[in-house]
Every structure is written in C-alpha cells, then in structure tokens.
Amino acid sequence: MKKRGLAIPYIIWMAIFVVSPLIIVIIYAFTNETGQFSLEHFQGMGLYSGVFGTSFFLAFVATAFCLLIGYPLAYVLSRESPNVRKISLILIMLPMWMNFLLRTYAWMSILESNGFLNRFLVFIGLPPLHIINTEAAVVIGMIYNFLPFMVLPIYSVIIKIDHKVIEAAQDLGANSIVVFRRIIFPLSLPGVLSGITMVFIPSVSTFVISKLLGGGMTLLLGDLIETQFLGNTYNPHLGSAISLVMMAIVMICMAVMHRFGEGEEEAVLL
Amino acid sequence: MKKRLFAIGITVCMVFLLAFASGCGKGSEKVVNVYNWGEYIDESVLKLFEKRTGIHVNYNTFETNESMYAALKNGGSNYDVIFPSDYMISRMIAENMLQPIDYQNIPNASKINLKDFNVQSALSYDPDGAYSVPYAWGTVGIIYNTKTVKNPVTSWGGLFDASNKGQILMFNNARDGIGIALKYLGYSLNTINKEEIKKATDLLIDQKQKGLVQAYVMDQIFEKMIGGEAAIGPYYAGDALTMIQENPDLAFCYPKEGTNLFVDAMCIPKNADNKENAGAFINFMCDPEIMVMNAKATGYAVPSRAAYELLDPEEQNSKLIYPDASVLKNCEIYKNLPQDVNAFYDSEWSRLTMAKSGS
C-alpha cells in the first residue's frame, strides 16, 4: 500500500498534463464551432492525405536511418571499457543540453548552398550538393535531433545482457555471428522497439525542422496542425481532429510493430 | 546570424526570467503585463519605465498576430498591454476582446498622429482610436541583391522572374504570401472574391512548380539575404534597412503595383487586471524620446511628429522608412476578412504547400 502512494505525484501529473489535455483534444475534435457534436472535421480530412503520407514516410526513413546508425553504435559502445563508455555517453547526450532550435538553426548554416558543407566540398574539389530546402534536409535534421533517443535505450538494454548467456553460447560452439544473431540481437529487441518508438513519434509530429531546414517547401503534419491554431483562421476543432487521426495512426503503427517484435523474439528463442 | 542567435538566446532567458518573476513577484508590488512582438522594442526602455514609475514590467513576446490572438482567445493568459496590427485590432474589437482606452491617463497620446505621415487611411481599423494607440508603422517591399539580380526590380514581377530561379524567397504565411500574388495580378489585398484568391494561389503554385522559389520563410530571411544564400524576397522596410546595413550589396524597392501598409498599436485587453498601469505604460511609450529609442532599435517608422523631429536627419530623410506620398497612396492596409474567406485562404495555402516543387 505504501509503495503505491509513491506513484501519486506521477498520477496527478499525468492526469493534469496528459489525460485532461487529451480529453480536451477529443472534445474539440468531435464538436463544431457552435459546440455541437459533429464529424465534419473528419470528413474533410481526405484533402490532407498527401500531408499524412509525406509525414509518415519521412518519419519512417528517419527512423530507419537512426536504427542503422544507432544500433551498431550502441553495440560497439557496450563492448568498450567503462571509461570510454562514460565519455561516449556524455558526448552523445551533450548536444541535448543545448536548445533544440539553436541546433536546428546551426544545421541551416551547415547545409545551405554557401554553407559549411558545400564550402568544404568545393575546397576539396568536389561538386557542391543541393540539400537545404529539400526533404533530404528535413530527414537529416530529424536523424540528428532524434538519434540519441535510439542509441540510449538500445545501449541500456545491451549492456545488461547477462554475459553468462553469451559465454554459454560460445561454449556450445557458436561463432560471433551466431552469438549476435541468436543471443544479442533477440535480447536487445526491447531496446530497439522503444528506440523506434522514441524516434518515430517526434519525427512524425515535428514542425520546426521542416520550417527551418525544409524551407517551408514540404508541409508536414506538425505544420498543418500548427496552421490550424496559429494560421489565418483560428480553428482548434480541425486542428484537434487532425491530431487525433495522427495519434490513432501512430498507435496502430506501434501496436503492429510490437506484435511483430514479440513474435520475432519468440520465434528466434524457439 | 549572430544577431539572430543572440535574439533567440535572449528570448529563452526572458521566458525563464518571466516564469521566475511571475512566480515570486506576486504581492502588493505594482505590475503591468506586456505582450509585444519579438525584437520590437529597445529593452532598456523597460528598465527606464520601472525606474520612473516603480511599476514592474512582465514582458513577453509573440511571433505573429495569430499566435497572440490564440493566446488571448484560449484564456489563461492575462495581459494588460498588447501590440496587435491593424486588421487584428478590428477583429478583436468585433469580437469584444478589447476595452476602450481611457485617454485621461495618457496625455502623451495627443502627440501621436498618423495624419502627419499621409497614412491616415490606415486608421480605418479603429477610426477614432477608441481602442488603440499607434506604436509604429511600416510597409512591405522587395529586398534584393544587386550583385545577383540581373533585371531591374520595380515590380512584384521580380519575384516571378525566371532569371532569379532558385534564388527567390517568399513569405511563409497565407495572408502575406497570397497577398503578393494578389497585388501582382492587380487585385486588392482585401478581396473577398474567392476566384481572385484562387488565381493568386495558382500563380504561386506555378512559381513553385517551375522551381523559382528557394524557400518560404519569415525571420530566416535575415540569414539568407545577408549571407547571399538567396537573391530576392519580400520583407518589411524596417528590417530591410537592418539587412542593408549588414550587407551593402542589398537594395530595397517599392513595387509599382502597390504594397501593404501596416500599423501596430497598443491596446488593452478586456480582461486586463492592471488597467491603470497599462495606461501609464502606454503613456510612457508615447513619450517622443522613448519612441525615438524604440525606433532606433527596431528600424520602423514613428507615428508622431514630435518624435520624428528628434530623429537624425538621415533617418528622417530615409525614403525606405518614410516613403513618399506617391508610394503611400498606392498602399493598402489589411482589413479583417470574413471567417469563410479566412478559411479559404488557409485551404488555398495548404494547396500551395502540398504542391511539389520543380527544379
């Protein structure tokens, strides 16, 4: 009973800042300007299917890249000496101590046509790249900003894998590839799943990155929702409806993925 | 770039300070809660006001009229002085969100008169000034790089000129963005004819699909124009002056089709707690010397002859900040549009942002 009491502050916090806003969003989404129940905002959603498509696609690409970069990094880190691990973890988290906006502004200066990257490419005799104001720039911004959220959960799971299990596999004649494929990877899956969740969700709903690095050329869901609140018309009902649909799709994606993840875990263990 | 970063840094600090100040500043202390545009004041003015009146200023900033409106409409926020623009003032008057100004508390307001600058037409948003005291005014024009733009720029057409391909910046909001195309096509900025708005959007979509547009921006125009990343774009005259000071290759032009004139004014929201302090603050801001301090910091035009007289001669003679009557005659002020037209603007703007850009 006593232990349960410790959770009360958290429950109160969640109720005020997560559950009640969510209820407000739901109420707004299902009402119209006069406060009556209405589905009109959902019916007009088809107009924005392109925005949904682009947002989910870019978030998917960014998540895939984060996994490709983040998993090996987390794996290599976990095999290093404690001192190297400590310093590396600090380096990974270091950028997060700075404001998100500032970091994204800095990327603008790096990627611009006359930016640092292109000046460097020209300096070493390569042709300059056109990255800024494209979808590629948006994806780069997402990868940069959200990569730590992929590395950290995977790392913290791998580091806790019992060494005895790996030694046992080796004793039974497994080479390092088999050990990775059949022991380490399956055991690290919970970290991978939470990493994917933590990268995919902020990627799908971001709006600053597309504005700064995408030059406003591609409209993402976050931008679309922002426009409903801060645009020409103040329309919280449509904004809430779009948010709700986005949340529903994200939840379905996550549910499917976790199902798939669990299945895989069992399959490999068997 | 540095200036921008600095500005962001300051904003972040301000938010923290504000959170701190509002947390412990409650008491018998006199306060005034001010909500202004970002980078739209000389910060030392606030210190001066506190010193002279003993009223503590809780200062907060917004980025767009719409975000300010949303913050007030949602309730929760409690401001005593706000700085909306013309069309937003008429909208807030219509929605009963402002309270009439008690001029007894604001003797300095008598020094404010936009008629002295040939912009009296601008006052249509609040003809008698019952709800608002003008703070600053300005115009929108074209800023361009004389090194990279080959054809002379005299018209909005410069933004649709194929020789500037990939170098053109456009406004990143519906009203200003579509407004440029409306003006270029010879329509009014305040048209409620959806056919005209649609034609203007089609023009912008064509411009995007031909790969003419480099990016849709607001504040980011500073880096892009100063650093030579982009060659031409629309912006506010006061800020254009700042950019020209940092990069002498830049020049400014008033398009011959006419442009947008705006007035930002000080208002008191209906639910203001400290009405008297708000009056004192507005009165202080109308002091000609304070107006000049702010004008020097922001680069925008003063609405007061008395303040104008205190400016340096080169500031007074700047055609960029105080354009000729012939330019002003051509200017239009934004009017508050009916809700269905506003919604149409938003859906047309989405149509533009969803269009694929060509290369």
Band the pLDDT of B205: cuts 50, 70, 90: very high
**Chain B neighbors of A217, CB-CB under 8 A:** 208, 213, 215-216, 353, 357
**Chain A neighbors of B222, CB-CB under 8 A:** none
Mean pLDDT of A174-201: 92
What does the mean pLDDT of chain A come to?
Answer: 90
**Chain B neighbors of A115, CB-CB under 8 A:** 229
Listed in order, the ranges of chain B carrying CATH 3.40.190.10 are 2-136+263-322, 139-260+332-354
| pLDDT confidence of residue B23 | 47
CB A130 within 8 A of CB A113: yes
Mean pLDDT of B198-207: 98
Tell whether A93 is covered by a domain.
yes
Give the distance from residue A180's alpha carbon to the nearest chain B alpha carbon, in angstroms. Answer: 44
Mean pLDDT of B79-86: 96
Mean pLDDT of A86-97: 92
| pLDDT confidence of residue A257 | 84
Give the distance from residue A116's alpha carbon to the nearest chain B alpha carbon, in angstroms. Answer: 12
In chain A, the number of structural domains is 1
For residue A108, the enclosing domain spans 49-269
What is the tens place of the pLDDT at every residue in A207-243?
Answer: 889 999 999 898 899 999 988 888 888 889 999 999 9
Contact: B216, A215; criterion CB under 8 Å: yes
Q: Is the pLDDT of residue A269 over 60?
A: no
Phi first, then psi, for residue B113 (nearest 5°) are -160, 110
Q: Is A37 helix (H, G, I), strand (E, B) or coil?
A: strand
Tell whether A246 is covered by a domain.
yes
Chain A interface, best mutation among B224, B335, B349, B352, by max A CB count within 10 A: B224
Nearest to B70 among A101, A211, A229 (CB): A229
Identify the CATH number of the domain defined by range B139-260+332-354.
3.40.190.10
Nearest to A99 among B12, B173, B345 (CB): B12
Band the pLDDT of A267: cuts 50, 70, 90: very low
Mean pLDDT of A164-175: 92
| pLDDT confidence of residue A55 | 95
What is the tens place of the pLDDT at every residue in B245-280?
Answer: 999 999 999 999 999 999 999 999 999 999 999 999
Contact: A234, B5; criterion CB under 8 Å: no
Nearest to B228 among A109, A114, A133 (CB): A114
Chain A interface, best mutation among B68, B91, B173, B229, by max A CB count within 10 A: B229
> Would you list which residues of chain B are within 8 Å, Cβ to Cβ, of chain A?
1, 4-5, 8-9, 12, 64, 66-67, 69-70, 73, 172-175, 208, 213-217, 220, 223-224, 227-229, 339, 342-343, 345-347, 349-350, 353-354, 357
Tell whether A110 is covered by a domain.
yes
What is the tens place of the pLDDT at every residue in A76-85?
Answer: 999 999 999 9
% chain A with pLDDT above 90: 72
| pLDDT confidence of residue A150 | 96
Phi first, then psi, for residue B324 (nearest 5°) are -60, 160
Class of domain B2-136+263-322: alpha beta
Mean pLDDT of A114-118: 91
Tell whether A19 is covered by a domain.
no
Strand order in the sheet with B81-82: B56-62, B31-37, B81-82
**Chain B neighbors of A99, CB-CB under 8 A:** 8, 12
Contact: B174, A232; criterion CB under 8 Å: yes
Torsion sign over Cα B341, B342, B343, B349 = positive
In angstroms, the CA A244 to CA B349 distance is 22
Contact: B350, A219; criterion CB under 8 Å: yes
Residue with tokens 């005299």: B154
Residue with tokens 């700064």: A212
In angstroms, the CA A72 to CA A87 distance is 17
Contact: B216, A48; criterion CB under 8 Å: no
| pLDDT confidence of residue A268 | 45
What is the tens place of the pLDDT at every residue in B15-55?
Answer: 555 555 454 444 568 999 999 998 899 999 999 999 999 99
Tell whether A188 is covered by a domain.
yes
| pLDDT confidence of residue B359 | 67
Contact: A235, B66; criterion CB under 8 Å: no
| pLDDT confidence of residue B257 | 96
% chain B with pLDDT above 90: 77
**Chain B neighbors of A235, CB-CB under 8 A:** 343, 346
Band the pLDDT of B76: cuts 50, 70, 90: confident
CB B245 within 8 A of CB B321: no
Residue with the bigger pLDDT between A241 and B63: it is A241
Q: Is B242 helix (H, G, I), strand (E, B) or coil?
A: helix
CATH code: domain of residue A174: 1.10.3720.10
What is the tens place of the pLDDT at every residue in B114-151?
Answer: 888 988 777 889 998 999 999 999 999 999 999 999 99
